[in-house]
């Protein structure tokens, strides 16, 4: 992001901050000085209700007058004020969402967008659930998913970076759409206050919690909320909470199964199970030929994707590749990170899928910052 020294000086003159603070807030605001000042006062307290014209307005020259005469009146000017970010927002009622699979889309507004800082990094509409927290739990139960709740307070800088860096990530959206009902609440909204009353330990901001359809808070992501940490915690949670596939039995089969269980007798094979073919063993990946690790793209190169590897010992390794690099080349890089060579494969987390050596990052539709699991092949 390029901006002039004039922008820095303008910000410093208005806020009284140092040059590093000015640079940080102007970069976060894409070079817009007005938004930068609003964001500064939102995170440091006070009101920054000014427009570009008010910030850049030069003081009018003092009119000439005789000291023995009455001083001329000061010139008039007009300035536009934004509503203060610290005022209580008005919560808008939302419609109740029916129990079906179409629970995403353009959401009803949760609060008035009265400040530029709230609209700076909006969450993608196809990620947000259209309904209340109670509706989200009901839909999660219906769809066999968990509810992921994000409590935001936009007077804190970390809440803006969460919207910008995490929820906008393709990798996060892929995992969320498959496994969670995502709902975002404002801390000082009516529904946000109700959630905090039920879960008083949700004190960090931003707060990210995973709630079961029964209402139990089963996981909390606290501390630093970087993209890598959120992906890591979510994938670890899903590793431990795989959904169970339940076979649907008829009423007679359920009654018979209950009788057999009470008699401690082995359950006979059902007609449905008898007609199902035996599961086929998963295909083993072909051995990878010796290949040198590809050179890492430069910072200005195009068609580049960042891949995060979960290594055999659980550590994370992050590296940039061209989208035309193959899985074979990714494996060659991974091999350089191991103390001794061994036969490996790379798989996606959700859905679980072993990548083939000839696949490229582009053909496998790997998202930027996607987490891949490195596994040893016996």
Confidence at residue 351, expressed as pLDDT on a 0 to 100 scale: 65
Mean pLDDT of the region 33-58: 62
pLDDT band at 46, cuts 50/70/90? low
User: What does residue 242 show for φ and ψ, rounded to 5 degrees?
Assistant: -70, 135
Q: What share of residues in the chain are helix, strand, coil (percent, to 5)?
A: 30, 15, 55
Q: Which residue has the higher pLDDT, 199 or 63?
A: 199
Question: Per mean pLDDT, which range of 182-186, 277-281, 318-322 is the poorest?
Answer: 277-281
- Exposed, middle or buried: residue 182 (CB in 10 Å: 0-12, 13-18, 19+)? buried
The pLDDT value given to residue 192: 92
Split at pLDDT 50, 70, 90, the class of 57 is: very low
Q: What pLDDT score was predicted for residue 282?
A: 60
Distance (Å, whole) CA 192 – CA 111 = 11
Res. 96: pLDDT tops 80: no
Among 23, 78, 76, 25, residue whose Cα is nearest residue 50: 78
Helix, strand or coil, per DSSP, at residue 292: coil
Whether residue 173 is predicted with pLDDT greater than 80 in this model: the reply is yes
Q: Is 70 exceeded by the pLDDT of residue 245?
A: no
Strand partners, 348: 353, 372
- Higher pLDDT: 101 or 220? It is 220
Closest CA to 342 of 287, 286, 285: 287
pLDDT of residue 280: 66
- pLDDT at residue 168 tops 70: yes
Q: What percent of the chain has pLDDT over 90?
A: 30
Q: What is d(CA 155, CA 86) in angstroms, rounded to the nearest whole number?
A: 8
Query: How is residue 64 annotated by DSSP?
Result: P
Report pLDDT for 2. 60
Token pair in block for residue 44? 């440091």
Q: Which residue has the higher pLDDT, 70 or 267?
A: 70
Check residue 333 and give its pLDDT: 95
- Cβ burial of 44 (10 Å; 0-12, 13-18, 19+) is middle
- What pLDDT was estimated at residue 111? 42
13/254: higher pLDDT: 13
* pLDDT higher than threshold 50 for residue 33: yes
Q: Quick check: 195 pLDDT over 50?
A: yes
Q: Find residue 309's DSSP bridge partners.
A: 317, 372
Burial class of 353 by CB neighbour count within 10 A (0 to 12, 13 to 18, 19+): exposed
Whether 21 shows a pLDDT value over 60: the answer reads yes
pLDDT at 55: 47
**pLDDT reported for residue 7:** 81
Is pLDDT above 90 for 316? no
Average pLDDT of 52-73?
53
Of the candidate ranges 99-113, 193-207, 237-251, the one whose mean pLDDT is the lowest: 99-113
Which residues, 6 or more positions from 26, have their beta carbon under 8 angstroms from its beta carbon?
1, 3, 7, 8, 11, 32, 33, 36
How many whole angstroms separate alpha carbon 325 and alpha carbon 334? 13
* pLDDT at residue 220 in the model: 94
pLDDT at 341 over 90: no
The better pLDDT of the pair 259, 372 is held by: 372
pLDDT (0 to 100) of residue 51: 42
Selected residue with higher pLDDT from 80 and 305 = 305
Confidence of residue 92 (pLDDT cuts 50, 70, 90): very low
Residue 113, pLDDT above cutoff 50: no
Q: What distance in Å separates the CA atoms of residue 310 and residue 131, rounded to the nearest whole number?
A: 35
Q: Give the burial string for 261-291 (b: 16+ CB within 10 Å, else e).
A: eeeeeeeeeeeeeeeeeeeeeeeebeebeee
What are the pLDDT digits (tens) for 353-362?
Answer: 899 999 999 9
């Amino acid at each position: 992001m390029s901006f002039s020294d004039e922008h820095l000086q303008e910000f410093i003159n208005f806020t009284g901050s140092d040059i590093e603070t000015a640079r940080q807030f102007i970069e976060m605001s894409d070079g817009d000085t007005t938004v930068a000042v609003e964001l500064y006062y939102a995170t440091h307290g006070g009101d920054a209700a000014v427009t570009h014209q008010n910030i850049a307005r030069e003081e009018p020259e003092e009119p000439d007058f005789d000291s023995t005469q009455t001083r001329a009146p000061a010139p008039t000017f007009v300035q536009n004020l934004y509503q203060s970010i610290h005022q209580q927002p008005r919560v808008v009622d939302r419609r109740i969402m029916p129990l079906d699979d179409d629970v995403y889309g353009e959401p009803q507004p949760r609060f008035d967008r009265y400040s530029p800082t709230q609209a700076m990094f909006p969450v993608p509409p196809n990620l947000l659930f259209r309904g209340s927290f109670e509706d989200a739990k009901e839909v999660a139960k219906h769809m066999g998913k968990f509810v992921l709740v994000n409590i935001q307070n936009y007077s804190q800088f970390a809440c803006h970076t969460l919207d910008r860096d995490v929820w906008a990530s393709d990798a996060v959206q892929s995992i969320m759409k498959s496994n969670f009902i995502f709902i975002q609440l404002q801390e000082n909204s009516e529904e946000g206050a109700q959630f905090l009353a039920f879960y008083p330990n949700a004190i960090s901001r931003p707060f990210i919690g995973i709630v079961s359809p029964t209402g139990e808070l089963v996981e909390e992501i606290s501390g630093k909320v970087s993209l890598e940490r959120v992906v890591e915690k979510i994938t670890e949670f899903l590793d431990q909470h795989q959904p169970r596939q339940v076979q649907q039995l008829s009423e007679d089969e359920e009654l018979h199964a209950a009788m057999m269980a009470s008699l401690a007798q082995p359950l006979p094979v059902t007609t449905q199970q008898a007609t199902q073919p035996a599961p086929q063993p998963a295909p083993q990946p072909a051995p990878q030929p010796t290949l040198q690790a590809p050179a890492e793209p430069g910072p200005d190169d195009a068609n580049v994707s960042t891949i995060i590897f979960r290594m055999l010992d659980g550590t994370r390794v992050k590296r940039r590749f061209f989208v035309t690099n193959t899985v074979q080349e990714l494996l060659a890089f991974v091999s350089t990170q191991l103390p001794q060579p061994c036969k490996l494969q790379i798989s996606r987390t959700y859905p679980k899928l072993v990548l083939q050596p000839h696949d490229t990052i582009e053909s496998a539709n790997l998202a930027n910052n996607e987490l891949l699991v490195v596994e040893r092949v016996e």
